Structure 1
Amino acid sequence: MAPPTDSAMEAAAPPCPASHLRWDLTAAQIQDATAKLIEKTKRVYDTVGALAQGDISYENTLGALAAVEVEYTVQRNMLDFPQHVSPCKEVRAASTEADKKLSEFDVEMSMRRDVYQRIIWLQEKLENSSLKPEAKRYLERLIKLGRRSGLHLPEETQEKIKEIKKRLSVLCIDFNKNLNEDTTVLPFSREELGGLPEDFLSSLEKTEEGNLKVTLKYPHYFPLMKKCHVPETRRLVEKQFNSRCKEENCLILKELVDLRAKKAALLGFENHADFVLEMNMAKDCQTVASFLDELAAKLRVLGEQERALMLSLKRQECEQRGLPFDGRLHAWDLRFYMNRVQETLYQVDQNLLKEFFPMEVVTAGLLGIYQELLGLTFRLEEGAPAWHPDVQLYAVQDAHSGQAVGKFYLDLYPREGKYGHAACFGLQPGCLLPDGSRQISVAAMVANFTKPTQNAPSLLQHDEVETYFHEFGHVMHQLCSQADFAMFSGTHVERDFVEAPSQMLENWVWEKEPLRRMSTHYKNSVPIPDQLLEKLIKSRQANTGLFNLRQIVLAKVDQALHTQMDADPAEEYARQCDKILGVPATPGRFCGGIWAVSHGDAMPHTDYWLD
């Protein structure tokens, strides 16, 4: 790959290569392809690492690494993505093992001091050359990453860092696998699920004794916590949800935090948080601590007002139902009374509102809005191969030129073993290939919305519509990026910026015109009434104090785990809940699903605050 120039970019207008991804690999094929990918990629690194200083050139060093990175990224995603989405447990297991082997290989290649030295030599050789800005940035980033791997340190220290990095990658993979494979089911009677709508109850499977099965997946957990008026049911579900995989993941979390601290120390940082923040605008954990403290202070009065309102609603609820009132808000009360604030203060009935947001209508409206906003056209590829029959594939073109832009998959419904959050996975980077042509970008949006049944369509809560719009914004960011190098394609931007496009684009779900375009009543297709729309839009400010104070709690715990020695996650979470949120944490709550990957390594773009 030669240094890209402006004229080369202008000439790179032939049709985009198609997607190189396939989803029909068996467990054995995944294992075999993993070994071949490692062998092929290692040959390139060996060749670069063996170059004599006088033979160094852009083409045989940076160009060679950039070229193999494109191919490796696509093949790697094809091998490790099935662990999150495949309906076959054997394939998921093979994909998880492939991820572990490839992650270990990633560590090995990131610790290649011979390759790092060749990049240093190249920088010296090209010091006064006219590299394009992105090529220069690629060169500088490789050197920066080399130093952050300790390649400037003694060999003995490098070996310690290498072993830690390998262990960290395995722990992160196992942690998330445990969550994805969780199959916890809680049986409840209809009375114990009081307050939940009939369409929700009728969608639940039954035990042999006739009780209803509640899982800990999003389509069960969130509606139950918002609408069930039986406090004990909410308490049980909240505790179980936040204690998923507690035994195994507690041990993983402790080891993760310890190893991160050791690696940071070997690299000359005071703690792991400072190591991570070096690449962010904040630069150090003291800046973060000051920001969080200042924000918490500004939100304190609003939080107190919102807690007082919720307590008054709880008193009324207890009086109406003949329940004892203990004068306190508990963790299992929060979502319920946040919903009650919307219903009483803003007169927003979420059960009524969701009837205007059937999945098909929301999807059509969302796709239409994004096409109009970004000047694109989407075309559904009927019968396109995918990893599950529910998945749809769309081809994307520039509306003006007809140029292919990329493709995206929509995988919207939960199933056993599937990734449990909402996330955008980049599957194929949009970037230049060695011949100067542009490879199209491919992404997948993976979510867990309520699946339609024979008797009921998939109806979305408004906050689910917002999540849909937000995550699809990441898909568009992935596809519309015009980077030269795979390392900078799509959402592979500076961490401080990665949420900005989606947070801007999700604002459309709070405006009347786009809301009308993505809503009609599922029974008779009548439009959503103006009065209901106005109430919904006004409710945007509901609970903002407590919501953001909870975000500060999560950030504080994350910082504590990665700045203090031997900080206990549950104890720290309980302390920050009391101090900042004013709502005590559930005793024995684990909460590891948030922090384990908050300072993790290779993960898809995802929004962990949903947990």
Structure 2
Amino acid sequence: MDHPFLADLFEIPWSQLMPDRIEPDISAGLENTQQCIDAIAAQDASSLTFENTLLAFEEANEDLSRAWNLVSHLDGVNNSPALREAHNKMLPRITEFTSRVYLNPALWKTIKAYSQTDEAKGLTGVRKRLLDETLEDFKESGADLPDDKKKRLEELNSELAELTQKYSENVLDSTNAWELIIDAESKLAGLPDSAKEAARLDALAKEHGTEENPKWRFTQQYPSLLPVMTYLDDDDIRKQVWEGSTRIGLEGDHDNTDIIRKTLVVRQEKAELIGKANFPDLVTARRMAKNGQRVNEFIEDLHVRVKDAFKSDFQEIEAFKAEQTGKEGPLEPWETAYWSEKLRRSKYDLDAEELRPYFPLPKVKKGLFEITERLFGIKIVPRSTRYVDPETGKEQTFTIDGNDETPIEVWHPEVVFFEIIDGDGTMLGAFYADWHPRESKRSGAWMNHFRTGGPRADGTFDPHLGLMCGNMTKPTKDKPALMTHEEVETIFHEFGHLLHHLLGRVEIKSLNGVNVAWDFVELPSQIMENWCWEREALNLFARHYESGEAIPDELYDKMIAARNFQAGAGTMRQLALAKLDLDLHQHPASYTEGDLDSLLRKTLEDYTYNFNTTPPSIVRRFGHLFSSPTGYAAGYYSYKWAEALDADAFTRFQKEGVMNGETGMAFRQCILEKGNSEPPEKLFKDFMGRDPDPEALLRRAGLV
């Protein structure tokens, strides 16, 4: 096909989405979109309607947005020199174009003219919501600025896109540049067998060691790093791994320090141009928090209430370590996870590795799907897949028994594909899942969407298309991928985001699914994590990979008893990250000179533990804040904000039954289906019958 990135196809032709197609396809998309926008802007004011103005504007950018989303997705999951070069070549053009759309005076004049028509004044429901949101989008993007300030805003948006892309590349490259090869198994005492085997196989794949004379390779990928920091007895090796993590985004050509400072300055200038005091006030104006001061109050209120528990938690670890070793004093950063795990075992007789055999990924997926099917009245159906090697053209097919439909093409052999079918047989959508780490893939876990569908005028349904990615533990030669409980929670979390997208029923695409206030978007994801703790739900999927037996009662009781272990420390860590984010963006001038780490330590001195060795800040690898022009910048508080909502909302399930389909359908109809069609405060109240209870989060964490 002439322009594969622009192809309006539900089944994406991944093998045709090659780096050399990015420039011509995106260029064509830019040209086509501009023509559509020019046509809207040129209309006579007397002929304006909802369809030829607001809906036409919705549709104008659809092909280009979908195409660039594919480029960005591939940059995140199959990064290569050629793809990176093509992406970065087009990034300035995309950024400039996106900025200019909302700064186009003729288009803005047309939108405003329509808003004054009798038809516009009579709009109700989701159509009025679209008008209101569109007007605010333009104002927030600088549409009312004079020409000189519009020009400057375009420059700032372009600079932000380039800075954050480079930041992300530095994190990926410096993560991949680090490795530690261990050549004696005796140095790996304490490390679980599953982690040792994964490290041995990783070394073999990189041509370190042989089957007869093995070596073990460790990286900064989370499934490799976490077991070392939690279980490995060798203090020196843990220190090396920790030191490696602190160097990500910090050294040589990968140093993100200047990028952070420039980004803060640019964001501040952008906020001031649009008439806000700072970046938090800009990004929270249309969120539940409304302004940066309310965010600050939210963070500080929780901080005061968990401070004593936080201090007590670290004192307990210190005392336990002193008791075991005879060495008193503050912990080292590379000791915290290790001694915390030792303490948890001592208090609850629980080794987190004991749970791993009960969480094989195939069963976790099956249980997750069964839970959501029962709660939300849907059916999740796997499809066969095929992968075409773009270099050789060789095709691999992965067949699902009983599914004789044409296999769906995927971007990597490990990617799987599922369809979501409603109770009446309607196909609501489908999604890809990419579970495991590789060097061409960015770290972390995330959800995104390729297509937004919804109800059609003829009564049929245009299905949605989404994806979820993670960096979970890999399978080994003789074992399936055995998840930690934390990884299970991550899978449920990202699937919650997917459900928010795939179950959306809003007729206006831009108001559907996850296109909601940022401090509300985590509610559907975080509430799903609750089912990872409920016995009734766990019995559906937490089964030993060999025997098929459920988690024994004794082990489950230990797991529940330890749920709130170190809750004060865990809560304070999230608050510290939120405080770091907020202070950087409320007071950027304070961080433009001097030692960045020292400045941040002072900001967070009442939020962090005083380690014996002072660690550098996480800020240079904190992708949530600096790997996209906005992302979670000035919004990291959203996790705790939405966690308070989810803790409260889940009390209804606990009262009415955690597997109660009627309650699940109420959550689907009040929250998941509604997207941004109504204010989030109303959606929450529709489900709970009241406003949120701010105490719910602390009660669940055992902190009140």
* TM-score between the two structures when normalised by the length of structure 2: 0.78
User: 1:578 aligns to what?
Assistant: 605
User: Residue 22 of structure 1 is aligned with which of 13, 38, 44?
Assistant: 13
Distance 2:459 2:162 in 1: 36
User: 1:82 aligns to what?
Assistant: 74
Deviation of the 1:156 alpha carbon = 0.6
SS class of match (2:355): helix
- Aligned residues of 1:509 and 1:515 also touching (Cα < 8 A): yes
Deviation of the 1:91 alpha carbon = 3.5
1:174-233 deviation digits (Å, cap 9, x = unpaired): 222332343121234545443211231122134469653211011111121211223332
Q: Which moved more, 1:95-104 or 1:479-488?
A: 95-104
Are residue 200 (structure 1) and residue 195 (structure 2) matched?
A: yes
Q: Counterpart amino acid of 2:12? A: L
User: 1:290 aligns to what?
Assistant: 297
- Aligned residues of 2:455 and 2:506 also touching (Cα < 8 A): yes
Distance 1:577 1:234 in 2: 25
Aligned pairs (5 A) from 1:290-329: 290-319=297-326, 325-329=327-331
Distance 2:232 2:88 in 1: 37
Aligned pairs (5 A) from 1:41-52: 41-52=33-44
Distance 2:279 2:606 in 1: 24
Distance 1:126 1:534, change over 3 A: farther
Deviation of the 1:89 alpha carbon = 4.8
Are residue 275 (structure 1) and residue 298 (structure 2) matched?
A: no
Deviation of the 1:244 alpha carbon = 1.0
Distance 1:461 1:286 in 2: 38
User: 1:405 aligns to what?
Assistant: 428
Q: Which moved more, 1:239-248 or 1:290-299?
A: 239-248
1:4-39 deviation digits (Å, cap 9, x = unpaired): xxxxxxxxxxxxx97253322111122221111111
User: 1:385 aligns to what?
Assistant: 409
Deviation of the 1:331 alpha carbon = 2.7
User: Residue 187 of structure 1 is aligned with which of 181, 184, 193?
Assistant: 181
- Aligned residues of 1:80 and 1:99 also touching (Cα < 8 A): no
- Aligned residues of 2:522 and 2:639 also touching (Cα < 8 A): no
Distance 1:106 1:461, change over 3 A: same
SS class of match (1:316): helix
Deviation of the 1:496 alpha carbon = 2.0
Distance 1:96 1:393, change over 3 A: farther
Are residue 232 (structure 1) and residue 236 (structure 2) matched?
A: yes
User: 1:322 aligns to what?
Assistant: none
Are residue 175 (structure 1) and residue 167 (structure 2) matched?
A: yes
Deviation of the 1:115 alpha carbon = 0.9
- Aligned residues of 1:341 and 1:542 also touching (Cα < 8 A): no
- Aligned residues of 1:405 and 1:440 also touching (Cα < 8 A): yes
Q: Counterpart amino acid of 1:199? A: S
SS class of match (2:468): strand
Distance 1:159 1:514 in 2: 55
SS class of match (2:433): strand
User: 1:259 aligns to what?
Assistant: 266
- Aligned residues of 2:497 and 2:524 also touching (Cα < 8 A): yes
User: 1:7 aligns to what?
Assistant: none
Deviation of the 1:310 alpha carbon = 0.7
Deviation of the 1:239 alpha carbon = 2.9
- Aligned residues of 1:450 and 1:459 also touching (Cα < 8 A): yes
User: 1:214 aligns to what?
Assistant: 218
Distance 2:560 2:623 in 1: 32
SS class of match (1:405): strand
User: 1:10 aligns to what?
Assistant: none
- Aligned residues of 1:413 and 1:451 also touching (Cα < 8 A): yes
Deviation of the 1:73 alpha carbon = 3.2
Q: Which moved more, 1:547-556 or 1:560-569?
A: 560-569
Are residue 158 (structure 1) and residue 160 (structure 2) matched?
A: no
Aligned pairs (5 A) from 1:418-429: 418-429=441-452
Larger RCO, structure (CA 8 Å, separation 6 or more): 1
- Aligned residues of 2:229 and 2:337 also touching (Cα < 8 A): yes
User: 1:32 aligns to what?
Assistant: 24
User: 1:514 aligns to what?
Assistant: 537
- Aligned residues of 2:77 and 2:442 also touching (Cα < 8 A): yes
User: 2:479 aligns to what?
Assistant: 456
1:349-384 deviation digits (Å, cap 9, x = unpaired): 111210111111111111111111111111111122
SS class of match (2:381): strand
SS class of match (1:406): strand
Aligned length: 588
Are residue 591 (structure 1) and residue 619 (structure 2) matched?
A: yes
Deviation of the 1:574 alpha carbon = 2.3
User: Residue 556 of structure 2 is aligned with which of 533, 540, 543?
Assistant: 533
Distance 1:192 1:96, change over 3 A: farther
Deviation of the 1:74 alpha carbon = 2.6
Q: Which moved more, 1:570-579 or 1:29-38?
A: 570-579
Distance 2:631 2:81 in 1: 21
Aligned pairs (5 A) from 1:19-168: 19=10, 21-24=12-15, 25-86=17-78, 89-91=81-83, 93-95=85-87, 97-126=89-118, 129-168=121-160
User: 2:333 aligns to what?
Assistant: 331
1:132-159 deviation digits (Å, cap 9, x = unpaired): 4222221221211211122212111111
Q: Which runs of 5+ in 2 are unaligned?
A: 1-7, 386-407, 641-704
1:256-278 deviation digits (Å, cap 9, x = unpaired): 11100111122222111211121
Q: Which runs of 5+ in 1 are unaligned?
A: 1-16, 320-324
Distance 1:602 1:487 in 2: 18
Q: Counterpart amino acid of 1:200? A: A
Give the fraction of aligned pairs with identical amino acids, expressed as a percent: 26
Deviation of the 1:570 alpha carbon = 2.0
Deviation of the 1:603 alpha carbon = 4.8
Q: Which moved more, 1:89-98 or 1:351-360?
A: 89-98
Distance 1:471 1:96, change over 3 A: farther
Deviation of the 1:339 alpha carbon = 2.2
Q: Counterpart amino acid of 1:243? A: R
Distance 1:283 1:589 in 2: 28
Deviation of the 1:98 alpha carbon = 4.3
Distance 1:143 1:128, change over 3 A: closer
Q: Which moved more, 1:173-182 or 1:508-517?
A: 173-182
SS class of match (1:591): helix
User: 1:369 aligns to what?
Assistant: 371
- Aligned residues of 1:406 and 1:440 also touching (Cα < 8 A): yes
Distance 1:572 1:556 in 2: 13
Distance 1:334 1:357 in 2: 25
User: Residue 467 of structure 1 is aligned with which of 490, 495, 511?
Assistant: 490
User: 1:12 aligns to what?
Assistant: none
Deviation of the 1:498 alpha carbon = 0.5
Distance 1:370 1:26 in 2: 36
Q: Counterpart amino acid of 1:142? A: T
1:564-610 deviation digits (Å, cap 9, x = unpaired): 11326422432355322324374444532326626954659999989
1:230-256 deviation digits (Å, cap 9, x = unpaired): 333223322322331224322211111
Distance 2:311 2:437 in 1: 37
Q: Which moved more, 1:186-195 or 1:530-539?
A: 186-195
Distance 1:431 1:241 in 2: 43
Deviation of the 1:486 alpha carbon = 2.1
Q: Compute the RMSD of aligned alpha carbons.
A: 2.6
Q: Which moved more, 1:115-124 or 1:575-584?
A: 575-584
Distance 1:443 1:150 in 2: 31
User: Residue 523 of structure 1 is aligned with which of 539, 546, 567?
Assistant: 546
- Aligned residues of 1:87 and 1:388 also touching (Cα < 8 A): no
Q: Counterpart amino acid of 1:571? A: S
Deviation of the 1:345 alpha carbon = 1.4
Are residue 554 (structure 1) and residue 577 (structure 2) matched?
A: yes
